[in-house]
Amino acid sequence: MKIAVDAMGGDNGPTTIVAGVERARDQFPDIEFLLYGDEAKVRAELKNEQRITVVATSEEILADEEPVRAVRRKKDASMVVAAQAVKAGEADAIFSAGSTGALLAAGLFIIGRIKGIDRPGLMPTMPDFRTGGQFNILDIGANADSKPENLYQFAVLGNYYAKNMRGIERPRLALLNNGTEADKGDLTHKAAYQLIAAEKDFNFIGNIEARELLNGRADVIITDGFTGNAALKTIEGTSMTILHLLKETIMEGGIKAKLGGALLKGSLGSLRDKFEYSRYGGAVLLGLKAPVVKTHGTASPEAVYYTISQIHDMLEKNVVADVVDYFSRNELAKRPEKND
Amino acid sequence: MSEQEIYDKIAQLIEERFEVSADKVSMTLDFKKDLNADSIDIVEFILELEDTFGAEISDEDAEKLATVGDAVNYVKNHQ
């Protein structure tokens, strides 16, 4: 299998990306890498070039650029050329730590959607703190506006991923909503509930409230991109604030608190690590013709490595090919009744 | 390429992309109003136009393409 890597993406450029790629190369003998970026900078970081081909590109997409315009205009940007390689069949998947918006645009407009999927969804894997397991949530922001049939298709995609990638026979699907009763929510969520509940293939457990997200109630949580993005950022912000308050309380609490803090240092460190969800891999843009996977711009070489192992699993388990097959033969999944 | 040939190709692209029958496509068909196309649909369609006709459509020009007729005229005047 071949993975196209945008070596210029992310806050630390090729340094972090190349370190993570080399670790993955050493671990997975069946992966070949195509590294796209500034040739001199990429080569300077490479320890050995076994199963790694460096492809020189002259541009990169910056975090503050308008994504669609950047992808259309910067034709020699590392991310764009990497996506073109996937489109041309020279690579099987693309990995980037660069601008999320640009990767969405490159995935959507260069690699393209699976026929039958109206909109792809961005889906990370998150920790569930009650059982120590994980859950997937989509869409967390690929689309600002979603229709009920988009949410239904996210359910199909998430269900497939949980079954094939995570090996869960009957994944528990839940719809993120502002109450648990079936009639809760705005018109979109009420209609989405009905569409998802009507699908016999799903193990749909109904609506879930945001406060239950990390409690292991569902394996896949379906949400529109606007709500999903707000929910995820609330989790991130709240966890960071709690950790900060904890530290502040210990540091300002006098000698006893500081002693207690010193004793708890290891435990508090592991608490922080639990919130670091890049350990569980990257966010997948699900619904495209090939795996398009993103990790944080601040990702460590370890997070890059975990994300590449996730792509390796996706390719090995044929997740995308199975979804293509499902949508080509399942009329219901293609397009439930339009609501407009 | 004649206007009719351009129209036929564009009509075919629209039928496939927006899943509408041939009899619904006309020069006055409006992407947003009649096909309920959002910004992503429009960008995908513009890129498909570029691939099909080998033209490069600037963002400024792309914003002005509201109907099938606009697209046909654009391609006709830029070939």
Whether residue B36 and residue A340 make contact (CB cut-off 8 A), yes or no, is yes
CA distance B44 to chain A (A): 6
Map out the domains of chain A with their CATH numbers. 1-117+287-340 (3.40.718.10), 123-225+265-282 (3.40.718.10)
What is the rounded distance in angstroms from the CA atom of residue A26 to the CA atom of residue A24?
5
On whether any CB of chain B is under 8 Å from the CB of A108, the answer is yes
Kindly tell me if the per-residue pLDDT of A220 is higher than 90.
yes
Handedness of CA A55, A58, A61, A63 (dihedral sign): positive
Number of cross-chain residue pairs from A and B with Cβ atoms under 8 Å apart = 15
pLDDT in tens, A245-275: 988 888 888 888 888 888 888 887 777 777 6
Comparing CA positions, the residue from A40, A52, A123 lying closest to residue A292 is A123
* Cα(A182)–Cα(A294) distance, integer angstroms: 34
- Residue A225 pLDDT greater than 60, yes or no: yes
Question: Is the CB of A72 inside 8 Å of chain B's CB atoms?
Answer: yes
Predicted local confidence at residue A311, as pLDDT: 96
What is the pLDDT of chain B when averaged over all its residues?
Answer: 89
Partners of B55 on chain A (C-beta within 8 Å) are none
How does the average pLDDT of chain A come out, rounded?
90
CB of A45 closer than 8 Å to CB of A65: no
C-alpha triplet A141, A147, A153: angle, nearest 5°: 75
At residue A36, the 3 state secondary structure works out as: strand
Q: What is the pLDDT of residue A277?
A: 67
Q: Measure the CA–CA gap between B56 and A20, rounded to whole angstroms.
A: 37
Residue-by-residue DSSP string for A306-335:
HHHHHHHHHHHTTHHHHHHHHHHH-HHHH-
Lowest-confidence range among A103-117, A141-155, A324-338? A324-338
Distance of alpha carbon B35 from alpha carbon B27, whole angstroms: 13
Which chain A residues are closer than 8 Å to B59 by Cβ?
A: 69, 72
Say what the pLDDT of residue A331 is: 55
Instruction: For residue A145, list chain B residues with Cβ-Cβ distance below 8 A.
Output: 38
Indicate yes or no: CB of A109 within 8 angstroms of CB of B38: no
d(CA A313, CA A101): 25
Greater confidence (A139 vs A270) lies with A139
Residues 6+ apart with CB under 8 A from B13: B45, B48, B49, B52
A75: helix, strand or coil: coil
Q: State the Rg of chain A over Cα.
A: 21
Which has more confidence, A85 or B57? A85
Task: Give A335's contacts in chain B (Cβ within 8 Å).
Answer: 19
Query: Helices H, strands E: what count in chain A?
Result: 12, 12
**Cα A72 from Cα A195, distance rounded (Å):** 36
Q: What is the pLDDT of residues A101-134, one digit of tens each?
A: 899 999 999 999 898 888 899 999 998 888 888 9
Q: Which of B40, B42, B44 to mutate to test the interface with A (most CBs of A within 10 A)?
A: B40
Q: What is the pLDDT of residue A340?
A: 43
Indicate if the pLDDT at residue B11 is higher than 90: yes
Hey, which residues of B are catalytic here? Answer: 38
Q: Residue A109 and residue B59: Cβ atoms within 8 Å? A: no
Q: How confident is the model over A84-96, as a mean pLDDT?
A: 96
Residue-wise pLDDT tens digits, A18-46: 999 999 999 999 999 999 999 999 999 99
Which token pair is A183?
């009639």
Facing residue for B47 by CB, picked from A69, A109, A340: A109
- For residue B33, list chain A residues with Cβ-Cβ distance below 8 A: none
Is pLDDT above 90 for A50?
A: yes
Domains of chain B, by residue range, sit at 3-77
Classified by CATH at the fold level, domain B3-77 comes out as: 1.10.1200
Choose the closest CB to B43 out of A68, A119, A340.
A68
Closest CA to A222 of A283, A296, A146: A146
